[in-house]
Amino acid sequence: MYHLPVLKNRRTLLERAEKFISDIYFTDCNLRGRLYGDSCPLESLACFLTPKRITFTEASKQIFDPCKVGDTFGPTWWTCWFKATLKIPESWRGKEVHLLWESDGEAMVWRDEQPVQGLTKEGEKTSYILSECLQDEEPHSLTLYVEMACNGLFGAGQGSQIAAPDPNRKFSVQRAELVVFNRDVRELLTDFEMLVDIVKELGEEEQRGYQALFTVNEMVNLCDPSDPSSFAKVHSLAGTFFNQRNGESQHTVHAMGHCHIDSAWLWPYEETIRKCGRSWVTVIRLMEKNPEFVFTCSQAQQFQWVKSWYPGLFSSIQHYVKKGQFIPVGGTWVEMDGNLPSGESMVRQFLEGQRFFNKEFGRYCKEFWLPDTFGYSAQLPQIMQGCGISNFLTQKLSWNLINTFPHNTFFWEGLDGSTVLTHFPPGNSYEMKGKVEDLVKTLKNNKDKGRANHSAALFGFGDGGGGPTQLMLDRLRLVQDTNGLPKVQMSTPDELFTRLQADSALLCTWAGELFLELHNGTYTTQAQIKRGNRQCETLLHDIEIASSLALYRNNTFPYPAEKLQELWRLLLLNQFHDVIPGSCIEMVVEDALKYYEDIRSGGAALLRDACEALVAKGSSVAVFNSLPWERLEVVQIQEGAEKSGLALVRASSIGVSPVKDTPPVTPVSVTVQADGTVVMENGLLKTAINRDGTLASLYLISGNRESISDGCLGNQFVMFDDVPLYWDAWDVMDYHLQTRKPVAEVVQPVHVVSSGGLRGSVSFTLRISDKSTITQEIIMDAMCPYIKFSTEVQWAESHKFLKVEFPVRVRSPNATYEIQFGHLQRPTHRNTSWDWARFEVWGHKWADLSEHNFGVSLLNDCKYGYSVHKNTMTLSLLRAPKAPDATADMGIHHFTYAIMPHTRSFQEASVIQCAYNLNFPLRLIQCSPDTMPWSAFSVTSQAVVLETIKQAEDRGGVLIVRLYESHGSSVTATLRTTLPVREAWVCDLLEKQDPNRPVQVTSEGITLDFKPFQIVSLLLIM
Ligand SMILES: [Zn+2]
């Protein structure tokens, strides 16, 4: 069938075909030049600008001034509303007619007061289809509105994508006109494009590529762009090639439409609402035309936004969810960071998410969906399983800088042994375009060849939204079963995982965390956000416990369920994977900090109300302890109280205790030595503090052990140059470790602040640079087994990293770090590339380095970045990246860390409890003088932490208590309570009662067996 002669010149034939569909070259005579037919200008175009994101109703009432194509609008983040009147020429009868709109600001078309089409040039969406085949009875004259945001798909970075936004950018409308769209040309172009790509992707090694080459060359021979009657033959030639089928063993790609929308990143939360609107209305338009099209969509918060901002669109989404095309996935409130949120926060992500999906769509998600997050906690498999989820999809570990993760489809085993079937789409992307390249990559990259014969391919513009296009769907449709390419089917996550599960006998298992070897700076960047998260997690914990107790101390107390849900949702939103990691622009930081303020102020009122309901009013002071163990602590009591305002208070577990100043067994002594060093001692610890605040010695009296390494200093501040390769706010690179410089310049040497008794403390000030200083108070409290370092830093650096070091007298190949509901070990050596890739790691409230019978723990109240190399324990304090927020971390910071040497293991030494104590201060309550100590709950085993007490969702008279085994041991523990519990049942993390697992309530309490790191939730029916 080929014209002879065809010379053996692959390059000329390939480039000939490329030029035939080029949008740059030879468009006067090639096929691409025929994509559009006649065009016609708009009848009129007018606009008005607003700094706010307003509703259509409000916008349509404004006065619009005439404007024209080519005009510019701004500044950045404003919105320009356009009113366009148009008249379709009568002569276009039978043609497909589009409104062609090209602007560099993201736009939405409104028609009849409804959003109808998202238009984003960067997302290859520039057409609103007015008619597929113009009929006489269709309206020819129309008024449309176009809402154009003065930001692009990726915000408005000045110079580079992740640079801080340019606040004064102007956005233009480059084209706005009516055009005739030649659908037959589009289809033929897709045939050509796919064949050209097959030639390129299969390369010179495979004969199938040559078959594509000769097919496409013959198609050029046969195709006359000026004569559409030649198209059918050309199209059928392509069809013959595409329809040559694969053998039975070929790999199957499960194509799923997707649109990753960062809930805030290079644009603020408010813009995300519109991104969802633009992206999802476009998806609905595609679904109307493509009944096989499946779209996966995560993040309950985004659905909630669309529900309140675009109720009409939300109804359409509900319709297509019912049809099985629009598929809510993930089960969480937002796609949260996988490292930093607390265990309870992780549970709440699922609880809020799954409940939302069930309420709005009548279904729970069966898969956890987190393609773009910076590492995954080892406790996630257990949390997923507890929330009805057994499958997990991500791809981010393909970003590892050092080691290649060895699997694409595998079982992931968590800290407690729970496993989930996990899939990383081998194409290493969540925003494919349905191109040949995507399919070939999916096939070739699969690291489980022979073990897993199914893979996912997520297609659609992402990060800034956008989503799939008709062209992507057309591409995939062409090559459903084309010999040489994997089979492609439109699919759902459920279908994919069912297939993977059915044939999983050969799959490998990965145990422990999925650590991302990149973006390690995100444990530290934007310290105020980290602090807000930790403090608000603590506050909500306390409010829920106090409110739960108040229900049974005061029968008129209303549990503030609605308000708590509102505050939790704000906290969960800020845990989004570009907000809590600190990889967002300044506007997002401002919003996030405002939400933390809302939680703090709203939460303070709730906590006060609940605490007041726990006691009778009066002029005395009591403390509320939200932790499930008795505490003996020095607390700062209110003004007007006796002496220094301090008291040593014994607080009963989860309950209220009146403040009665207990004299300490050993008071703190503070001695200033002749050389200016200060020695403090409290009977447990003895420390010598140098003039510059470093610790010359930290002596554990009971163990007869020095903690600080020979010839070294504890509490040593160190600065590093912190210049990553690209991702500024995200990355700290291994080479920064070579730039270590101690902070040595003393502005004010150590001087005594509290002279002993209940508290000894000293203060000092160091100069970091001309602009930055550290002022610190080192505090030793009576009866307290750790020393606190209450720190204020004035920080105005650029690309520097501040840390504090404790070189300790401990030798161990592993250090231990607290994670969600447990802890794990990471190496302190750098034997292999997997070890040294973890030069900067994350942990929660504490890290510990122990040898047999002795160890040192480093505790903190709002930090997450650690490293322990050999015997030096380091806590990461502050960074100073300049992109995407040029002002990141500038200003004053407050944080506290603590050092705790101990004998025996950290478990036996109560390090876990001490870290809780540091983070959950005893809360003061005004009460009557006859208030008696009272405890609501306690647990007999120190290994078991009672983490959460809350009212069950939608069930008054029922409490949820959540406990976990924290030592990594198998234990039996009894939960004791003074509350009137009638019945108890085991439930899952979604609070679903397990009808087969009633729990006996005896006069002793509720006795439960725990496996290492097991989380157990109970429903207590009162
Ligand atoms: Zn993302």
Predicted confidence (pLDDT) at residue 235 exceeds the cutoff of 70: yes
Distance from the alpha carbon of residue 578 to the mean position of ligand 1, in angstroms? 7
pTM for the whole structure: 0.97
Distance from the Cα of residue 434 to its chain's centroid = 26
Taking the C-alpha atoms of residue 579 and residue 299, their distance in angstroms, rounded to an integer, is 15
- Report helix, strand or coil for 410: strand
Q: What pLDDT, on the 0 to 100 scale, is given for residue 639? A: 60
Distance from the alpha carbon of residue 527 to the mean position of ligand 1, in angstroms? 20
Predicted confidence (pLDDT) at residue 172 exceeds the cutoff of 90: yes
Distance from the alpha carbon of residue 147 to the mean position of ligand 1, in angstroms? 25
Retrieve residue 642's tokens: 């006796």
Element (H, E) at 46: strand 44-50
Provide the residue count of the chain: 1022
Distance from the alpha carbon of residue 564 to the mean position of ligand 1, in angstroms? 27
Determine contact, residues 356/363, Cβ cutoff 8 Å. no
Closest CA to 442 of 502, 486, 480: 486
Taking the C-alpha atoms of residue 758 and residue 329, their distance in angstroms, rounded to an integer, is 54
Predicted confidence (pLDDT) at residue 1 exceeds the cutoff of 70: no
Determine contact, residues 106/73, Cβ cutoff 8 Å. no
pLDDT in tens, 766-809: 999 999 999 999 999 999 999 999 999 999 999 999 999 999 99
Distance from the alpha carbon of residue 882 to the mean position of ligand 1, in angstroms? 20
Taking the C-alpha atoms of residue 63 and residue 816, their distance in angstroms, rounded to an integer, is 64
Predicted confidence (pLDDT) at residue 292 exceeds the cutoff of 80: yes
pLDDT in tens, 832-862: 999 999 999 999 999 999 999 999 999 999 9
Q: What pLDDT, on the 0 to 100 scale, is given for residue 8? A: 79
Distance from the alpha carbon of residue 796 to the mean position of ligand 1, in angstroms? 29
Taking the C-alpha atoms of residue 476 and residue 693, their distance in angstroms, rounded to an integer, is 65
Distance from the alpha carbon of residue 266 to the mean position of ligand 1, in angstroms? 11
Q: What pLDDT, on the 0 to 100 scale, is given for residue 663? A: 85
Distance from the alpha carbon of residue 893 to the mean position of ligand 1, in angstroms? 28
DSSP letter string, 575-586: TBTTTTTS-S-H
Q: What pLDDT, on the 0 to 100 scale, is given for residue 662? A: 81
Q: Phi and psi for 970 in degrees, rounded to 5?
A: -95, 120
Distance from the alpha carbon of residue 267 to the mean position of ligand 1, in angstroms? 12
Closest CA to 696 of 683, 705, 685, 709: 709
Contacts of 249 (CB under 8 A, 6+ apart): 453
Distance from the alpha carbon of residue 588 to the mean position of ligand 1, in angstroms? 14
Determine contact, residues 175/127, Cβ cutoff 8 Å. no
Which residue in the block uniquely carries the two structure tokens 């006796």? 642
pLDDT in tens, 388-447: 999 999 999 999 999 999 999 999 999 999 999 999 999 999 999 999 999 999 999 999
Distance from the alpha carbon of residue 263 to the mean position of ligand 1, in angstroms? 8
Q: Phi and psi for 100 in degrees, rounded to 5?
A: -100, 120
Distance from the alpha carbon of residue 469 to the mean position of ligand 1, in angstroms? 20
Residue numbers annotated as active site: 372
Q: What pLDDT, on the 0 to 100 scale, is given for residue 643? A: 55
Distance from the alpha carbon of residue 915 to the mean position of ligand 1, in angstroms? 32
Q: What pLDDT, on the 0 to 100 scale, is given for residue 641? A: 45
- Mean pLDDT value across residues 368-385: 98
Can you state the angle between helices 561-574 and 527-553, rounded to 10 degrees? 160
Q: What pLDDT, on the 0 to 100 scale, is given for residue 4? A: 65
Contacts of 910 (CB under 8 A, 6+ apart): 785, 942
Distance from the alpha carbon of residue 496 to the mean position of ligand 1, in angstroms? 23
Distance from the Cα of residue 746 to its chain's centroid = 40
pLDDT in tens, 485-542: 999 999 999 999 999 999 999 999 999 999 999 999 999 999 999 999 999 999 999 9
pLDDT in tens, 25-50: 999 999 999 999 999 999 999 999 99
Please report which residue ranges of 525-617 form alpha helices under DSSP H: 527-553, 561-574, 586-614
Q: What pLDDT, on the 0 to 100 scale, is given for residue 122? A: 93
Distance from the alpha carbon of residue 312 to the mean position of ligand 1, in angstroms? 27
Predicted confidence (pLDDT) at residue 205 exceeds the cutoff of 70: yes
- Mean pLDDT value across residues 623-652: 86
Distance from the alpha carbon of residue 664 to the mean position of ligand 1, in angstroms? 52
Residue burial 367-389, b: 16+ Cβ < 10 Å; e: rest = bbbbbbbbbbbbbbbbbbbbbbb
Taking the C-alpha atoms of residue 652 and residue 635, their distance in angstroms, rounded to an integer, is 14
pLDDT in tens, 543-553: 999 999 999 99
Higher pLDDT, 638 or 719: 719
Predicted confidence (pLDDT) at residue 6 exceeds the cutoff of 90: no
Contacts of 905 (CB under 8 A, 6+ apart): 850, 855
Distance from the alpha carbon of residue 265 to the mean position of ligand 1, in angstroms? 8
Distance from the alpha carbon of residue 729 to the mean position of ligand 1, in angstroms? 14
- Mean pLDDT value across residues 721-738: 98
Distance from the alpha carbon of residue 49 to the mean position of ligand 1, in angstroms? 30
Burial of 577 (C-beta count, 10 Å sphere; 0-12/13-18/19+):
buried
Taking the C-alpha atoms of residue 895 and residue 891, their distance in angstroms, rounded to an integer, is 13
- pLDDT level of residue 3 (50, 70, 90 thresholds): low
Contacts of 232 (CB under 8 A, 6+ apart): none
Distance from the alpha carbon of residue 464 to the mean position of ligand 1, in angstroms? 8
Q: What pLDDT, on the 0 to 100 scale, is given for residue 661? A: 78
Distance from the alpha carbon of residue 465 to the mean position of ligand 1, in angstroms? 10
Distance from the alpha carbon of residue 315 to the mean position of ligand 1, in angstroms? 26
Mean pLDDT, rounded, of the chain: 97
